[in-house]
Chains A and B, each alone.
Chain A
Amino acid sequence: MVTTATPVQVVYKRPASLSDTPTHYCPGCTHGIAHRLIAEVMDEMNIRERAIGVAPVGCSVFAYNYFTCDFVEAAHGRAPAMATGIKRVLPDRVVFTYQGDGDMASIGMSEIVHAAGRGENITVIFINNAIYGMTGGQMAPTSLPGQKTTSSPTGRDVESMGFPMKMAELLSQLEGAGYVVRRSLHDPKNIRMAKKAIRLAFETQIRGLGFSMVELLSTCNTNWGVSVLEAMQYLKDHMLPVYPIGDYKVSPALENLRV
Chain B
Amino acid sequence: MPVKGWIEVDERYCKGCELCISECPQNVLALDLDHLTPKGYHPVMLKMEGCTGCGICAIMCPEAALTVYREVPQKAAQAVQPSGG
Contact residues of A with B, CB < 8 Å?
1-2, 4, 6-15, 18, 20, 22-23, 25-33, 35-36, 39, 187-188, 191-192, 228-229, 232
Contacts and interface: CB of A to CB of B under 8 A. Distances in A.
A23 B74 contact: no
A33 B62 contact: yes
A6 B71 contact: yes
Interface in B1-56: 4-6, 10, 12-13, 15-19, 22-23, 39, 41, 53-56
B74 A15 contact: no
A188 B71 contact: no
A9 B72 contact: yes
Interface in B50-75: 53-56, 58-72, 74
Given A27-B41, A229-B18, A191 B67 contact: no
A12 B55 contact: yes
A8 B69 contact: yes
A18 B64 contact: yes
Contact of A25 (B6, B53, B62): B62
B75 to A, nearest CB: 12
A12 B13 CA distance: 15
